[in-house]
């Protein structure tokens, strides 16, 4: 335990712990999740993103820690010397099955990576509660105490129409798992624009602009840093949304190329997603020292000038 791990300019002490009977040494300040990833061990995550401080919202990454009465969220729990962690017990598996079933029965997870595989792995059956309730137009009007316990004839959910109020991106809150990442990216953690926040309580909780105005009447500056962190496809480039609607979105045929933004002199790293020689989406590497995955409206959406080609 006297080893030192050098990360950049800082020298951090190392910590030794045991995960699933295997001894592992990582830098102080790492989380159980990052220690597991170092070992090549997969822990399911939904609300976790590598540029945002975890909110521990989804509870799908829970693990057992010896001496702890309850399961702990691996995404935010820091490693401690001598810690004994179990990631793959009956209790952790049962917990994950429950989370995947409750979320899967109430939210459209069709574009959330790995969910189908995890459902199989943990024996989760999100459809077993019955017929889903019809989509509603009224989720944004719900006030505290508004939501009543369902009568059992259908399964409560958050299905609702897609919000399309500007040319650049859409909001499909049927897919929102309330991970808070978009709120944190828009707020103090990165963009500091505070155009969106969390409204409502309990099952009626939702992401909203102030007074639920359209984005065009909100403080939004269209940086798209919320799209970058959204893990479920609830926030999406309009170009991607339209292509998915038309059945022409072919992710397996797309290439991803890293380059640098053509606008100001900051030098933001872009990842261009290209299909059939067209840029269809722009993201930014989350581990880049300039951007940490963030861009402004020009970097995120200002690519069209190279493909307004004469027919």
List residues binding other proteins (CB under 8 A). 166-168, 188, 190-192, 215-216, 220-223, 255, 257-270, 272, 274, 277-279, 285, 287-292, 294-299, 301-310
User: Minimum distance from CB of 277 to other proteins (Å)?
Assistant: 5
Q: Cβ of residue 235: shortest distance to other proteins, in angstroms?
A: 15
Least Å distance between CB 168 and other proteins? Answer: 7
Q: In this complex, which beta carbon is closest to other proteins, that of residue 119 or of residue 181?
A: 181
Tell the smallest beta-carbon distance from residue 171 to other proteins (Å): 14
CB 190 within 8 A of CB 294: yes
Measuring CA to CA, which residue among 115, 98, 116, 109 is closest to residue 159?
Answer: 109
Q: Which is nearer to other proteins, 87 or 275 (CB)?
A: 275
For residue 17, the minimal CB distance to other proteins (Å) is 30
Q: Which is nearer to other proteins, 200 or 224 (CB)?
A: 224
In the complex with other proteins, which residue's Cβ is closer, 180 or 303? 303
**With respect to other proteins, which residue has the nearer C-beta, 124 or 218?**
218
Q: What is the 3-state secondary structure (H, E, C) of 40-101?
A: CCCCCCCCCCCCCCCCCCCCCCEEEECCCCCCEECCCCECCCCCEEECCCHHHHHHHHHHHH
Q: Give just the sign of the alpha carbon dihedral 135, 136, 137, 140.
A: negative
Beta bridge partners of 257: 272
121-125: Cβ within 8 A, 24+ apart? 122/93, 122/96, 122/97, 123/97, 124/96, 124/97, 124/98, 124/100, 125/101
Minimum distance between the CB of residue 286 and other proteins, rounded to whole angstroms? 11
What whole-number distance in Å separates Cα of residue 183 and Cα of residue 88? 32
Q: Round to the nearest angstrom and report the end-to-end CA distance of the chain.
A: 66
Residue 116 or 260 having the CB closest to other proteins: 260
């Amino acid at each position: 335990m006297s080893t030192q791990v050098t990360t950049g300019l800082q020298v951090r002490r190392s910590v030794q712990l045991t995960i699933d009977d295997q001894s592992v040494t990582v830098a102080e300040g790492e989380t159980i999740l990052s220690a597991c990833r170092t070992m090549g061990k997969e822990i399911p995550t939904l609300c976790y993103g590598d540029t945002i401080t975890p909110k521990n919202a989804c509870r799908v990454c829970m693990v057992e820690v010896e001496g702890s009465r309850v399961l702990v969220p691996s995404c935010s729990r820091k490693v401690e010397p001598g810690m004994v962690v179990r990631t793959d017990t009956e209790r952790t598996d049962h917990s994950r099955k429950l989370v995947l079933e409750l979320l899967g029965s109430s939210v459209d997870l069709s574009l959330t990576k790995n969910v189908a595989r995890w459902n199989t792995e943990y024996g989760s059956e999100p459809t077993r509660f019955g017929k889903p309730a019809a989509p509603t137009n009224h989720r944004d009007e719900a006030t505290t105490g508004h939501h009543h316990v369902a009568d059992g004839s259908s399964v409560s959910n958050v299905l609702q129409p897609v919000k399309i109020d500007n040319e650049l991106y859409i909001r499909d809150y049927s897919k929102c798992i309330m991970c808070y990442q978009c709120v944190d990216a828009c707020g103090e953690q990165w963009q500091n624009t505070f155009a969106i926040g969390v409204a409502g309580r309990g099952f009626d909780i939702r992401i909203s602009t102030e007074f639920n105005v359209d984005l065009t009447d909100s403080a939004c500056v269209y940086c798209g840093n919320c799209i970058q962190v959204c893990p479920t496809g609830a926030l999406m480039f309009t170009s991607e949304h339209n292509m998915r609607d038309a059945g022409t979105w072919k992710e397996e045929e797309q290439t991803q190329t890293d380059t640098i933004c053509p606008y100001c002199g900051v030098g933001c790293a872009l990842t261009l997603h290209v299909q059939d020689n067209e840029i269809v989406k722009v993201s930014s590497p989350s581990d880049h020292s300039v951007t940490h995955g963030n861009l402004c409206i020009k970097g995120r959406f200002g690519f069209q000038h190279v493909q307004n080609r004469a027919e």
